[in-house]
Every structure is written in C-alpha cells, then in structure tokens.
Amino acid sequence: MERGKRYRKCLELYDKNSLYSVEGALEVLKKIHQECGPKFDQTVELAMRLGVDPKYADQMVRGSVVLPNGLGKELRVLVLAEGEYQKIAKEAGADYVGGEDLINRIAKEEWIDYDVVIATPEIMPKVAKLGKILGPKGLMPNPKTGTVTTNIKQAIEEAKKGRVEFRVDKTGNVHMPVGKISFDSQKLIQNIYTAIDAVVKAKPPGAKGQYVRNIALSLTMSPSVKVDVSTTLKRLQELVA
C-alpha cells in the first residue's frame, strides 16, 4: 500500500528496525508529533503481541487497568441498574443511568453514544440481549473488567479516572490507549508501564512459551516504534519490586 507523504517523512525520523526502550520510543513519538504530526493532540497507543491462541478458553487474555494519569479525556459512563443503585450511580457522576428503559433504547436504536457501560449483576440477564450491539464495540459489561459489580460508585470513579479495558484479539494482539502525546513524558511512561504490567499479570494458565512476544508504541497517525521486550520487562520488575 502506498504511504502518504507525511507518513514517509515520519519514517525518516527514526530507525524502524531498531528496538527502543519505552522511554526512547516515547522520545521518538514526541519528535514525530512535533515535526510531522497533525495539529490535534494524538493518542499514544500501546500494542502487545502475545504468545497465546485466544480460540482456547484457557488462553484468553482480558482485563482492565486504571491508568494513574488518565487518558486525557472525559469518559461518558452509562450505568444499567435498578432501584437504589440508580440513585448511587447518579450521585457518583454517571452520565446516563437507567434500567430496562435504556436497555430497550439501545436494542431499538443501537445507541452507543458513551464510552463505558457498567451494570449490576441483577440486571445482566436483561442486558444479555445487547451482546451483538455492545460486544463488537468493546462495551459489553463483564465481571473480569470490573464493569459488572454492585460497587457502582467505585466503578464509576475508576472509569472517570481512566480505566482502560483490554482484550486479546483473534491474532493474539492487545491494543490500548495510554494517554495523549501532550502529556508530560514521565506521566506517559508511568501509564505505559502500568498498562504493560496489567497485561503481564493477566497471563492465562494455558499460555505456553514466551508470553510477551512484541511491544510497540504509536500515535493515532504515525508508524509504530518497536520496543525492546526483555529490557522493558526487566525495568518493569524493578518498578514493581
């Protein structure tokens, strides 16, 4: 595929075949954004290729992580609950709160104008019919990601702070946003290591051989910068020790 002029200029700013530390890769992305990036504040994306085959249940990787410095944007939270939980959700700052009324609206209109969906266990049997709408968008509530819970207040607070859900795709890759390129470098580095740590801790029992195969960082509109896996995991152990 023929790449655009901007993309080709970005490639000239670093060695695409080299492996960088997280810190070094971030420096490259800062330079790319400054010299050939678009005018908007780009999102920094983390990609990890894992040694798993997600078609097997014991090799599925899924979870969530609260990034210490957030994502740089206000997330819209929808809460599906009944009774007293609706009052708690409204007081905790949820953007949309409802029960069967909102479930029916989503089913009828395929309404997805929100970023996070939280539900109580009691209402989940009714939410189940929304799987085909919410699932492909990564919005379906799930106990493993903390979005099916009776602790509605905490779930909303974490979502607003910058909780990110992750799930391995069918090719064994995990992708997630880790902040904005305008963030202070140390805040981005902290977010990145926190995200990597969450994926490492989510290693499934069926994973065999090397679990983390590749790591890369990129921007919304940039080439990927390869990150040295062994150096990064070693540094991660030092940070969490």
Domain boundary among 113, 133, 160: 160
pLDDT value at position 145?
84
Which has more confidence, 123 or 135? 123
pLDDT value at position 165?
86
Identify the band that residue 20 occupies on the pLDDT scale cut at 50, 70 and 90: very high
- How large is the average pLDDT for residues 7-21? 90
Q: Are residues 234 and 180 in the same domain?
A: yes
Q: Are residues 184 and 66 in the same domain?
A: yes
For the cut 60, the answer to whether the pLDDT of residue 83 exceeds it is yes
Instruction: Kindly report, residue by residue over 189-210, the tens digit of the pLDDT.
Output: 999 999 999 999 999 999 989 9
DSSP codes, 35-95: HH--SS-PEEEEEEEES--TTSGGG--EEEEE-TT--SSPPPEEEE--THHHHHHHHTT-S
Instruction: Report yes or no: 48 and 232 within 8 Å, Cβ to Cβ.
Output: no
% of the chain beyond a pLDDT of 90: 77
The range of the structural domain enclosing residue 55 comes to: 11-70+163-240
Q: For Cα atoms 134, 126, 107, give the angle at the middle one, nearest 5 degrees.
A: 45
Domain boundary among 123, 139, 160: 160
The count of domains in the chain is 2
For the cut 80, the answer to whether the pLDDT of residue 4 exceeds it is no
- Tell me if 2 is assigned to some domain: no
pLDDT value at position 2?
57
Q: Are residues 168 and 116 in the same domain?
A: no
